Structure 1
């Protein structure tokens, strides 16, 4: 009996022993890992002792979206102000080279990076965080996948400070366990929010709550329990960070509530075997942040603010990656309603009204989504007045921003909305969903002055019908009111959401202090 129990004990503890030995081996190999990174940058052994490494975890760094602008602006700022810091990006873009990524950053964002202090650690396990890998239990699967990616990242290089700029909070446990280093986060969108839980509780259909779930009491109850458990561990993950930045008041409100989240039932469960073995997940740092700091993303306000405000073309512009949550389908439906309700917009003249959709196309799923959008435009018989532009260059985006009249954003609970800021700075009147960052931070009253038919430098809507009505209002503003709206929108966007404001907020997070504290 004793031999059998001993055998079972060895079987149970062997994985833990094996993993512990692997972690020790990873730590021992870090001297060689850092030497390879420095050697690839042309940094001599004598100079390497003065260098410090900041690691940015951003598996989709080459996607060309608003989150990537945050990443590259932060890195460019560090390169310009901190000569002894080497920035390392953990990327899953294995099909791109360092040179190609730098060139794309310049073409897409007009950000010039210094190759001598920038290195990439390419990860082969990015497929583990793809939606297609986890058709069921997507949140759980992607979170576990991100933890494996963090293991691969730390196996290749442990930095002096780890900053997640894409939203993979579950990586913090792995990084802290292996690297024993400070961790920071820039949160664009919480992985799970109280809004998501509320939709499941009220059985409301949405992007994160399908018809099959919302129409079933039992499935809704099961998903609610799943979300409750997930929120518990997500809260513990965020508390592992030394500092947390977020991109809007909407995100901050959710993150702050998540940081304070607790569950007495799950807390008690962790005191019992075998769940106490997961205690390392629920433990938090004594220095865990009590609240997040708002650091508005850097927006392109320099070049676009020079565009003329008058003589705009009859163009409705959409700037958004072709992801499901951006809801391009609602844009096509709203445009169709607009054309059918007001026939003067139809293709009958020399310069008909056009809807131009510009966005990044990351993978096969996005490409298939674009095909579906093209099919819908044809079905609605509006394809002649709709134009799709995929993976546009920076200069091409600027060209459209300089001549468009109205900007359209239909995402529900958009965490911030860099595209909306770009609209306003360029003098494009925004029409956005009445939620998230566009509602609370961006399209807000400026100096309390009314603007035409709206008290805002733009319009809010919630359904395709109300979006169509808002678009019509924007195109029928009296000339003086239209110009006043464009001017106030530009002034607000330039003074509030510039790159200068972003770097001030970034430095106010005290990331340098935490990096130094991690070395002592």
Structure 2
């Protein structure tokens, strides 16, 4: 490299440091000042609306959860955490940043009670409704979906902070890129409860090996050029996702699987991309996002209302195979229908004989048009597989209805690959339903594990293995069946209760950062 070129690069770097950075810091300062000034009035209005005449000693914790009214396992975590804080932290007001503009505060609270049997105090809860939630929907980004949704979440965080800046910000849905917006512009502590890493080393490996998946389509896997470009895209995204997680002051995760991935991402490095960030203008990005990051995440298992489910009779049970999962693509309901069809094909007596008839019931939430389209396609698949008469769809069921199905089913079916935790599997076990879950993620490492050295359920990967596992459960002797149901329940109640979650949430460190702020 010539001496003149070195001088040129040095001059460019110094000009950026001494001219651009001060201008950027001035802009950030002015934005912060404007947010802080406007927030005083908004904060006063919030306290008045909730009936708190004085703000003395009261703090505001903001929860970023654009789909808070969806009714899934992630929402149970959100509402259980808020309900716990309402009981123990009377000086804390909870604010939920939600995109559910089609519902009122009262309707959301009523749905939380109906779906989860969780009671919330309206005087300690406020909603900030966001108009731009479409920016984080996968349908808005048919290409470069991860990048698009992440950029969309950053705008959504900006919309949130312009309406109200809390004293502590907690993301409970997995939008790590929002940390930069909140941290840089509001200078408040940031934490998260991570259900599932946005990108993982497994995803990188699938692209590298050109393995077809719901996140890696056939038109990409069949092309070496497209696969190379996608691998570069994923490497860049992983790099910035790691920077995002490193911005958090504390991190909670829901399982051993998620912890292993998040801890790995916190330590992630890419020599080539890191080297590029020493050069302008990328060095500014690196400088602004550098933080003293948590080096590990803390496991806080999600809550399950095991108390009521544990009261269900273990026998007799109906010959029902039950699925409880939102109709999202990663839940892989198609695999459930295919495995069930194979079971019926191998055992036609499960169709013809009334006393042996087996039924598959798919209970799940539908969030939007995309989910509705998937449900329609699943109905068509059931018809094409000639199992329509043995399959029932239950959409957006109330909590009592879900409990009713759990109280009478024999088998709980979960086919999602790398399920981050699997609260539906815990519910199966607490209710005495024998689980048949995919041999990966939380169900493999944390949930469907031996209790006192004996089985609590079954794992499978292929449709053949799922069909075989379901047949094994249906063929158990009454004594074996009762013993397995009891073991599954005992383990679930002991390990995954609401009390265990609340203890872990309290010990996660969020209160320390709120006090620090």
- Per the normalisation by structure 1, the TM-score is 0.94
Looking at structure 2, the residues matched to 12 and 421 of structure 1 have their Cα atoms a distance apart, in angstroms, of: 51
Structure 1: gaps spanning 5 or more residues = 1-9, 450-455
Aligned to 1:462: 461
Looking at structure 1, the residues matched to 363 and 509 of structure 2 have their Cα atoms a distance apart, in angstroms, of: 36
Looking at structure 2, the residues matched to 274 and 404 of structure 1 have their Cα atoms a distance apart, in angstroms, of: 59
* Mapping of residues 56-455 of structure 1, within 5 Å: 56-285=63-292, 288-349=293-354, 352-449=357-454
Looking at structure 2, the residues matched to 271 and 11 of structure 1 have their Cα atoms a distance apart, in angstroms, of: 16
Q: Secondary structure in 1 aligned to 2:428?
A: helix
* Mapping of residues 19-34 of structure 1, within 5 Å: 21-34=30-43
Q: Secondary structure in 2 aligned to 1:159?
A: coil
* 1:36 has 2:36 as partner: no
Checking the alignment, whether the CA contact within 8 Å between 1:236 and 1:281 is kept in structure 2 is: no
Q: Secondary structure in 2 aligned to 1:29?
A: helix
Shift of 1:12: 13
Shift of 1:17: 7.1
Q: Secondary structure in 2 aligned to 1:416?
A: coil
Shift of 1:14: 9.4
Shift of 1:61: 0.3
Looking at structure 2, the residues matched to 471 and 281 of structure 1 have their Cα atoms a distance apart, in angstroms, of: 53
Looking at structure 1, the residues matched to 503 and 475 of structure 2 have their Cα atoms a distance apart, in angstroms, of: 39
| Post-superposition CA distance 1:22-76 (Å, at most 9, x none) | 44312211101101111110110xx213210000000000000000000000000
Aligned to 1:477: 476
* 1:504 has 2:503 as partner: yes
Shift of 1:280: 4.0
Looking at structure 2, the residues matched to 496 and 325 of structure 1 have their Cα atoms a distance apart, in angstroms, of: 26
Looking at structure 1, the residues matched to 465 and 171 of structure 2 have their Cα atoms a distance apart, in angstroms, of: 37
Checking the alignment, whether the CA contact within 8 Å between 1:236 and 1:283 is kept in structure 2 is: yes
Looking at structure 2, the residues matched to 421 and 77 of structure 1 have their Cα atoms a distance apart, in angstroms, of: 20
Shift of 1:390: 0.4
Structure 1, 265-274 or 337-346: larger mean CA deviation:
265-274
Structure 1, 272-281 or 218-227: larger mean CA deviation:
272-281
Shift of 1:314: 0.7
Shift of 1:88: 0.4
Structure 2: gaps spanning 5 or more residues = 1-18
Q: Secondary structure in 2 aligned to 1:53?
A: strand
Checking the alignment, whether the CA contact within 8 Å between 1:413 and 1:435 is kept in structure 2 is: yes
Aligned to 2:11: none
Looking at structure 1, the residues matched to 29 and 357 of structure 2 have their Cα atoms a distance apart, in angstroms, of: 66
Q: Secondary structure in 2 aligned to 1:358?
A: strand
Shift of 1:11: 12
* Mapping of residues 486-497 of structure 1, within 5 Å: 486-497=485-496
Q: Secondary structure in 2 aligned to 1:59?
A: coil
Q: Secondary structure in 1 aligned to 2:60?
A: strand
Looking at structure 2, the residues matched to 347 and 356 of structure 1 have their Cα atoms a distance apart, in angstroms, of: 18
Checking the alignment, whether the CA contact within 8 Å between 1:237 and 1:281 is kept in structure 2 is: no
**Number of residue-to-residue matches in the alignment:** 501
Looking at structure 2, the residues matched to 333 and 174 of structure 1 have their Cα atoms a distance apart, in angstroms, of: 44
Checking the alignment, whether the CA contact within 8 Å between 2:180 and 2:289 is kept in structure 1 is: no
Looking at structure 2, the residues matched to 98 and 194 of structure 1 have their Cα atoms a distance apart, in angstroms, of: 39
Q: Secondary structure in 2 aligned to 1:168?
A: coil
Looking at structure 1, the residues matched to 114 and 291 of structure 2 have their Cα atoms a distance apart, in angstroms, of: 42
Looking at structure 1, the residues matched to 251 and 22 of structure 2 have their Cα atoms a distance apart, in angstroms, of: 35
Q: Secondary structure in 2 aligned to 1:384?
A: helix
Structure 1, 93-102 or 344-353: larger mean CA deviation:
344-353
Checking the alignment, whether the CA contact within 8 Å between 1:183 and 1:241 is kept in structure 2 is: yes
Shift of 1:479: 1.1
Checking the alignment, whether the CA contact within 8 Å between 1:89 and 1:121 is kept in structure 2 is: yes
| Post-superposition CA distance 1:337-372 (Å, at most 9, x none) | 000101111144267211000000000000000000
Shift of 1:463: 1.1
Looking at structure 2, the residues matched to 16 and 512 of structure 1 have their Cα atoms a distance apart, in angstroms, of: 30
Q: CA RMSD in A?
A: 1.9
